[in-house]
Structure 1
């Protein structure tokens, strides 16, 4: 029995690691696609393909096929914020290296607790000072990544990815606030988001259909990869895997995404790794892991204190038992 459990755990770990690799490779795929097609047209194709697959999974899957009011009420605004994230990210990837994009977006890990209700203003009080030290390491890392071969004015793409990290952190915090304690099915929520994105990009998509039809097979391969693997597959597999392991363990494995983004960019994209960018990459990965560990320990301690207070006060109402969320970056 023990061997079976360990085998299942290793299998789950490998699947989560695969998700991290897929998300890490998404930056180079998006960069390749946007070099052949306009950014908004790439996003339309990605959303439309993802929506078709999600609708098919809902139609032929088990359980009720109809969406609840809660799923629609939450899915629409989250669909809008997700579109905002992908627009800024994709424009950023088009103007910087895939390695830099994957590393800078990982700032989401330390930005999210600052915006999340459970971080500064939630139970347990503000985050400990050591968390801000970790955030400072990440800020220094961003400066080094932006420097490239030497210190100069930041590139447009790097600034856009910095903005994307902030927008993604807002989106992740909003996901937590809107979904905690509510019976929302991940597939149905994802489907609503993809439909919202498809609708928002529809005017651009209709105007660009002739251009899309003339795209070569290589471009279409990137679009299908972004839609099916980096969106639908990665999200559903992540949800499946997190249900079979701890969210903390999942976040550590998914947190390797920037490493894979850098590796794919160098190995397949022909990008160069200078001494400054290598130091920035090391500081970014180390800083995000450090900040993530500090925030997780702080939240766990706050939860223990809350449970003690509830036991000591019979009139206190316990908060919903919510699984720890892994606030990792999720590709482009």
Structure 2
């Protein structure tokens, strides 16, 4: 029991760290251009990952599959973060964390594209609840035109779902080590943002301790630490339990935004949050049960676990045993 409680605590800590990443990104982009924040986050993550790879000398060098898969996934991951970070800069941290959780129901839809069989009607009902929830969240204090940041977070959820589905297809039946794949992705992301961020790099020399604290937190805690902690914990518990605990991320995002940033909690916000959390949990449960009992003649089709939704973003890699601030 003590070991089980420790594992649960680690998974909840990962969810809390990821939930807090939206406020950290919002704070960092208030003092630095978005592209500079992304470059610094990737570069710091890459340095940390390279250090861990150097320590782990027994595992040898990169395989051809890790490089071939890591490069395109690094590009799609960078696309996720650029849309997400611009979105966070133009909406509340609570809304950002809640809306991005739509990835949980979007990913299975994309992962099934072009394959035999389909998801049960109850999954589409859960997705409908999530869409209603997003509409309520976008309404703010009253129904009006959607805000730019909310629309960007909606786009980020879609791009992230594409990325996760791609991870499932590219890594299937390949022996890829998560740390090595993550290192390739962070190096690709660093290269992608180097030129676009070049004109703003001098700003890093002028940013204060608070700005650097946010950058280090995003890189070392929301990316590297969260990946390592999640990998350790997922190997010691069931996929269902890990999914349940990691799925509390949007709850923490809302709590951090309201509690630390003083964001307004209105009845509509509360309704939207409740509907979105209920819808994503429902959809996740339906998809997990459907994956456990696949249709005849479709049992060989690889499926993307709900746990892979966040671990493949925000600097986190895919974990083959199981799953972006």
With structure 1 as the length reference, what TM-score do the two structures score? Answer: 0.90
Q: CA deviation at 1:322?
A: 8.1
* Counterpart in the other structure of 2:104: 109
Aligned residue in 2 for 1:39:
34
Which runs of 5 or more residues in structure 2 are unaligned? Answer: 312-323
Alignment of 1:1-332 (within 5 A): 6-116=1-111, 119=112, 121-122=114-115, 125-302=117-294, 319=300, 324=305, 326-329=307-310, 331-332=324-325
8 A contact 1:88–1:160 mirrored in 2:
yes
Task: Show CA shifts across 1:194-227 (max 9, x none).
Answer: 0000001111343222111100000000000000
Larger Rg, first or second structure (1 or 2):
1
In 2 relative to 1, CA 32–180 (structure 1 residues): closer, same or farther, beyond 3 Å? same
Asked whether the 8 Å contact 2:284–2:306 carries over to 1, the reply is no
How many angstroms apart in 2 are the aligned matches of 1:319 and 1:135?
Answer: 26
Q: CA deviation at 1:246?
A: 1.8
Partner residue, 2:315: none
Is residue 120–residue 126 contact of structure 1 (8 Å, CA) maintained in 2? no
Cα distance in 2 for residues equivalent to 1:324 and 1:173: 10
CA RMSD after TM alignment: 1.8
Measure, in 1, the Cα distance between the counterparts of 2:163 and 2:264.
32
Counterpart contact for 2:16–2:252, Cα < 8 Å = yes
Conserved? CA contact 2:165–2:304, under 8 Å = no
Equivalent residue pairs, number: 313
Q: Report the CA distance between 1:181 and its aligned residue.
A: 1.4
Looking at structure 1, the residues matched to 263 and 136 of structure 2 have their Cα atoms a distance apart, in angstroms, of: 16
Which stretches in structure 1 are left out of the alignment for 5+ residues? Answer: 1-5, 310-317
Structure 1 counterpart SS, 2:86:
helix
